[in-house]
Structure 1
Amino acid sequence: MIPIQLTVFFMVIYALESLTIIVQSSLIVAVLGREWMQIKRMSPVDMVFISLGFCRFCQQWSSVLYNFCSYFNPNTTFWYIGIIWEFTNTLTFWLTSLLAIVYCVKVSSFTHPVFLWLKWRILRLVPQLLLGSLLISCVAIIFSVIRSRIKFQLISMMHLPGNNTVTERIKMLLQNFLIFQQLVLLVIPFLLFLASTISLIASLCQHLGQMQRHNIGHCNSSLKAHFSALRYLAFFLIFFTSYFLAIFITIIDNLFNRRHWFWAWETVIYAVVSIHSTLLMMSSPKLKKVLKVRCWGLETA
């Protein structure tokens, strides 16, 4: 059993991490939304960025509400808030994979005809792909709502006199279906993200090798830019993979659903999310420019 002081410590850390993620997501939406209002158009990458920022904003608020409400009211089931978190979490995975695909197609230097065709087509299809990600998440959440309603009916039936063997089997079947559904909906976009990010890293490494073999004075800035991009991609890959593994463990291992481990595990998960959001912001030139201006303004003040 974790001491109450340590539990309070993890709760405070979790709250600070949540506040950081909410501010980061709000900044992404505010900066890109203001630019969209000014110039009346948005690049494919920025479309995915602003969608991901809004989705993560909603996800973090639903996480905060569900965790604190469930902790302080353990006898009440806040299933509707949990459904919102599940929906936004699924959508976050699909949007992150879409962002990785768009970056891979836009930046990498592969010359295969299929890849060139994708490069020409996919940037035009970003609005449709965003809509597709939203539809996949909506279909998944419909199944989750139906499953939750059936689960509550089974729980009420278990209090009635009689043989509960069939009810227990149906409940176990629903639990297994939940695990299978969530894993499928998260594994597919994660594999797409993994393939896109590794392909982009391979392309940048190949291009970097070519530049180093023909290195001349004016290429130094390009070499630095490539090294910086590779560093961001490596961290991006590590932290999103860590987030996937944390969610994966939470789904398949009931150990981390125990009350005395709960806040410690939530702190680990959202520390990874906070770092991942920071890397996302730093990978966008527009957001990076805004951050530099704000930081410079604070320093001069």
Structure 2
Amino acid sequence: MVIYVVESLTIIMQSGLIVAVLGREWVQVKRLSPVDVILTSLGICRFCLQWASMLYNFCSYFNPNYVFWYYSITWDFLNPLPFWLTSLLAVVYCVKVSSFTHPTFLWLRWRILRLVPWLLLASLLISGVTLISSAIRNHMKIQIISMEHFLRNNTMVERLKMLLKKFALSQPVVVLIIPFLLFLASTILLMTSLSQHLEQMQHHNTDHSNSSVNAHSTALRSLAIFLIFFTSYFLTILISILSILYDKRSWFWVWEAVIYAIVSVQSTSLMLSSPTLKKVLKVRCWGLEAA
């Protein structure tokens, strides 16, 4: 439990730093790149989601028989957003950085900067749709609890429980898998493009090509690490929602600590993907070293 709290506070500080630095940049220059806009949105989402996670986890753990539907609805609304925002970030990087010459990529490369605000709005609306299913699910839970006290025949209650279970399992499949597959496809395409470009540059032996080869190799390693951690995050969240591989009560805090350790590393990778954030971090580190 202590490890989970420390990890949660770390993620909150990371998210707050992302929002503060990029918000200050926006105030100073009156504009942000599409990548920084997505990172700012992701930082705000992660900041709110982590507080909601702490409230919901502690309340549901210490009062397992009480339905905290306010926190549950907030969690259901915020939880899909990081997946959609991360997949959008992967799409933007893939379109802008990849060297594919297919007409679809050329059209997207020309339009992607204008589409980012609309795609952010679409991500928010898709997450908002989950509020409807969350409200229905929580209403069904309350009805089942009330029916258990008044009905002697539990056949109807058991049928409602089975219906609720199927409904609860279908939501993450739709809400989480679609953005994850979009992220997976974009990242694999970007890594394929960088690998092809790297093979072409390795045929040249100039000093300039050597520096480009090193830059491409570093980018490929960073993408591979981020792909591994985001896939791990997706799988742990999916297993946690389905609750099929572990006893949720006895392993609850261990599982939560594993999930948010992955999130903390992922947040660090996202911070390093922004030139603005990297510049601020370097200045702060140099200032500490000088002091």
Q: TM-score, normalised by structure 2?
A: 0.96
Q: Please list the CA deviations of residues 15-59 of structure 1 after superposition, one character each: whole Å capped at 9, or x if unmatched.
A: 111111001100110111111111111211111110011001111
Q: Is the contact made by 1:101 and 1:196 (CA closer than 8 Å) also made in structure 2?
A: yes
Matching of residue 121 in structure 1 with residue 111 in structure 2: yes
Work out the CA distance in 1 between the residues paired with 2:100 and 2:228. 24
Match of 2:194 among 197, 204, 212: 204
CA displacement, residues 161-181 of structure 1 (integer Å, 9 cap, x when unaligned): 331212221221121111111
Instruction: State the alpha-carbon separation in 1 of the partners of residues 248 and 242 from structure 2.
Output: 13
Q: Paired residue for 1:153? A: 143
- Cα root mean square deviation, aligned: 1.3
How far apart, in 2, do the equivalents of 1:232 and 1:246 lie? 21
The reply on whether 1:17 has 2:10 as its aligned counterpart is: no
Whether 1:185 aligns to 2:168 is no
In the other structure, the counterpart of 1:102 is: 92
Between stretches 249-258 and 42-51, larger displacement belongs to 249-258
Alignment of 1:26-175 (within 5 A): 26-175=16-165
User: 8 Å contact 2:81–2:124 — kept in the other structure?
Assistant: yes
**C-alpha separation in 1, matches of 2:61 and 2:242:** 21
Closer, same or farther in 2 for the Cα pair 1:139/1:257, shift >3 Å? farther
* Offset at residue 78 of structure 1 (A): 1.9
Match of 1:289 among 273, 279, 282: 279
CA deviations 1:141-166 (Å, max 9, x no partner) are 22111221122112111110331212
What is the identity, as a one-letter code, of the residue corresponding to 1:283?
S
Equivalent-residue separation in structure 1 for 2:85 and 2:71 (angstroms): 21
Letter in 1 for 2:49: Q
Q: Which runs of 5+ in 1 are unaligned?
A: 1-10
Cα distance in 2, alignment partners of residues 193 and 161 from structure 1: 47
Q: Deviations over 1:96-129 (max 9, x none)?
A: 1000000100111111111101111122100000
CA contact (8 A) 1:250 1:257 kept: no
Larger deviation: 157-166 or 121-130? 157-166
Q: CA deviation at 1:255?
A: 4.5
Contact 1:94 1:189 (C-alpha < 8 Å) held by counterparts: yes
- Structure 2 contact 201–209 (Cα < 8 Å) conserved: yes
Q: Tell me if the contact between 2:73 and 2:131 (Cα under 8 Å) persists in the aligned partners.
A: yes
Q: Is the 8 A contact 2:4 2:257 kept in 1?
A: yes
Q: 1:225 aligns with which of 191, 210, 215?
A: 215
| In the alignment, structure 1 residue 194 sits paired with structure 2 residue 184 | yes
Return 217-226 or 23-32, whichever deviates more.
Answer: 217-226
Q: Tell me, what secondary structure is at the counterpart of 2:32?
A: coil
Contact kept in structure 1, 2:76 and 2:130, CA below 8 Å = no
1:197-225 deviation line (CA, Å, top 9, x unaligned) = 00000000111111111231122222221
Q: Which residue type is aligned with residue 209 of structure 2? A: C
CA apart distance, 1:257: 5.1
1:273 CA drift (Å): 0.5
> How many aligned positions are there?
291
Determine helix, strand or coil for the equivalent of 1:163.
coil
Percent identity between the two aligned chains: 69
